[in-house]
Amino acid sequence: MGNSNSSCSSLNGVNSGKSAISTLTSDLVNGYVFFHQCIPSNPVRVEFMISGPKNKTHAIHIHEYGDLTKGCESLGSHFNPTRQTHGSIYVNNMPRHSGDLINNITFNNEGKFYFVYEDSTISLYPTSNLSIIGRSIVIHDKQDDLGMGVGINKQESLKTGNAGKRICCGVIGIAENKNHL
């Protein structure tokens, strides 16, 4: 959360920094994830505006590749430049993939999901090894278990969060540099 936009504009002007977007379109899901970063040392502001099945929760991640040769299947695994196990921002001090984002999105009773947060484990600057430009967003059929799976689910939990099939995806491309308010 926080107030990156005001610090961004006071530091460098309204149109400073870098922006990126992934548009998401399928039978079930429509919308976008918009990214903005003021300067390389700042976190990335991530804005989700997505519609989908009412009252349903679906996993969402950044995956490693932007290769749609086989649709969502050729986008690789979770973006993981720091070689961590799968985890969650919602569990204190838990290792996680840079691509784990907020793990899940829940559409409300009108089928909408809107959320903004800041992420320090990704970058929009191409010289950073955390750069997400040219990678992808994937939405899954099931809910991400935040790496907390037990028993026979544990091993897969620490890789994918047992999120299931890929139901929608989009490549992360460079966007016009808007400073969303």
- Name the residues that contact Zn ion, by CB under 5 A: 78, 86, 97, 100
Concatenating the DSSP letter of every residue in 140-160 gives ESS---TT---GGGHHHHHHH
Residue number with CB closer to Zn ion (55 or 82): 82
Residue number closest to Cu ion, CB atom: 61
Per partner kind, with CB cut-offs from 5 to 8 A, the member of Zn ion, Cu ion, none near residue 138 is: Cu ion
CB of residue 77 vs Cu ion: minimum separation in angstroms?
A: 8
**Of residues 138, 158, 167, 171, which one binds Cu ion by CB under 5 A?**
138
Residue number with CB closer to Zn ion (30 or 57): 57
**Cβ–Cβ under 8 Å, residues 24 and 50:** yes
Q: Does 96 bind Cu ion (CB under 5 A)?
A: no
Q: Which of 131, 160, 134, 129 is nearest to 145 (CA)?
A: 160
Q: Does 61 bind Cu ion (CB under 5 A)?
A: yes
6 Cα distance to chain centroid: 23
Residue 3's contacts (CB-CB under 8 Å, 6 or more residues apart) are: none
CB of residue 86 vs Cu ion: minimum separation in angstroms?
A: 9
Using alpha carbons only, what angle is made at residue 121 by residues 72 and 148, rounded to the nearest 5 degrees?
Answer: 70
Per partner kind, with CB cut-offs from 5 to 8 A, the member of Cu ion, Zn ion, none near residue 97 is: Zn ion
3-class DSSP state for residue 89? coil
Catalogue the active-site residues: 61, 63, 78, 86, 97, 100, 140, 166
Using alpha carbons only, what angle is made at residue 19 by residues 178 and 134, rounded to the nearest 5 degrees?
Answer: 150
DSSP state of 9: H
Residue number with CB closer to Zn ion (103 or 123): 103
d(CA 100, CA 10): 30
CB of residue 165 vs Zn ion: minimum separation in angstroms?
A: 16
Per partner kind, with CB cut-offs from 5 to 8 A, the member of Cu ion, Zn ion, none near residue 86 is: Zn ion
Residue number with CB closer to Zn ion (147 or 170): 147
d(CA 137, CA 151): 29
Residues that bind Cu ion (CB under 5 A): 61, 138
